[in-house]
Amino acid sequence: MVNERILQEISRDDYFSDAVRYFWDKRASQAEDQNNRGVKDQGSRSEATGGKHMDGFFSLIETLLLDVGVPAEDICTRKRNLDLPGFFRAEKQWDLIVIKHRPEGEKELVAVLELKSQKGPSFGNNINNRTEEVLGSAYDLWTAYREGAFKTSPSPWLGYMLLLEDCDKSRKSVRNNEPHFDVFPEFKNASYAERYHQTCLRLVRERVYSEVCYLLADQEEKMKARNYSEPDEMLAGTRFLRSLCSHLNNFYELK
């Protein structure tokens, strides 16, 4: 079992604060770097196209895995091969994978994580694309699993983390387009933040993902000790990480 020190650490109220601060700083530095080089991306795209702004979260989760006793060679991150076979496509590159290497040479797919973020102003242009992407990726992986793509691996833990900018535009009520039928009540005039909230809840309740972590962060509050919020306990970071550690217990003798 995971020891009490680690459980207390992941239960801290500001556990993700350094990663959130890194997120904002990295986006700003990428935009400045592109401007200095004369690269002109539209809107805030220059902050996103450089990548690596979620590296603070990758580092935090990788450190947790190592702390609880997962061997380094079993953890695949950005530095190593992250491709897994799909069913409707040849392969997909995920964000973090845990693969247990057994002494007899067999491999078991233990955990798969996808980490995403969205910053304004184009919430409306991106929310449907992001939802279709997260649903399609999960369906593709679970179908590949059913069809034996991962050999004799037990069912893996599939996690999704989303960091959304907390601002007036993401909190503002959005009018629905309903030319033929009504949208579900939870989406009626809901803000983009609430639409993402409902989507993330459904991903868990419908067992599309094992767990989902949904965070909101305001750039103006990045220097606060607690610089993000968790709109729903069911989608909180502590629940997300405890679930991951619980699943790992089935494969490793955790510290």
Q: Domain tally for the chain?
A: 1
Condensed to tens digits (0 to 9), the pLDDT of residues 203-251 reads: 999 999 999 999 999 999 999 999 999 999 999 999 999 999 999 988 8
Helix (H, G, I), strand (E, B) or coil at 169: helix
Q: Considering the domain boundaries, does residue 244 fall inside one?
A: yes
- Give the Cα separation of 67 and 51 in Å (integer): 26
- pLDDT above 90 covers a percentage of the chain that reads 75
- CA angle at residue 78 from 75 to 84, to 5 degrees? 70
Which is nearest to 107 in space by CA: 158, 38, 161, 154?
A: 154
Q: Considering the domain boundaries, does residue 173 fall inside one?
A: no
HSE-CB of 156 using CA atoms within 13 angstroms = 28
Chain centre to alpha carbon of residue 121: 20
pLDDT for residue 218:
97
Range of the domain at 61: 4-165+209-248
Condensed to tens digits (0 to 9), the pLDDT of residues 85-144 reads: 999 999 999 999 999 998 888 899 999 999 999 998 889 889 999 999 999 999 999 999
Q: What single-letter amino acid sits at 241? A: L
Weakest-pLDDT range from 105-109, 184-188, 189-193: 105-109
Q: Considering the domain boundaries, does residue 138 fall inside one?
A: yes
Q: Considering the domain boundaries, does residue 200 fall inside one?
A: no
Question: What rounded mean pLDDT belongs to the chain?
Answer: 90
Condensed to tens digits (0 to 9), the pLDDT of residues 92-107 reads: 999 999 999 988 888 9
Task: Give the model's confidence band at 46: pLDDT under 50 very low, under 70 low, under 90 confident, else very high.
Answer: very low
Q: If you ran DSSP here, which 8-state letter would residue 245 be given? A: H
Q: How far apart are the first and last CA of the chain?
A: 6
Q: Considering the domain boundaries, does residue 148 fall inside one?
A: yes
Task: Give the model's confidence band at 33: pLDDT under 50 very low, under 70 low, under 90 confident, else very high.
Answer: low
Here the tokens at position 201 are 């809840």
Q: Considering the domain boundaries, does residue 176 fall inside one?
A: no
Q: Considering the domain boundaries, does residue 253 fall inside one?
A: no
- pLDDT above 70 covers a percentage of the chain that reads 90
Give the chain's count of helices (H) and strands (E): 8, 7
Q: For 2, phi and psi rounded to 5 degrees? A: -70, 135
Q: Considering the domain boundaries, does residue 60 fall inside one?
A: yes
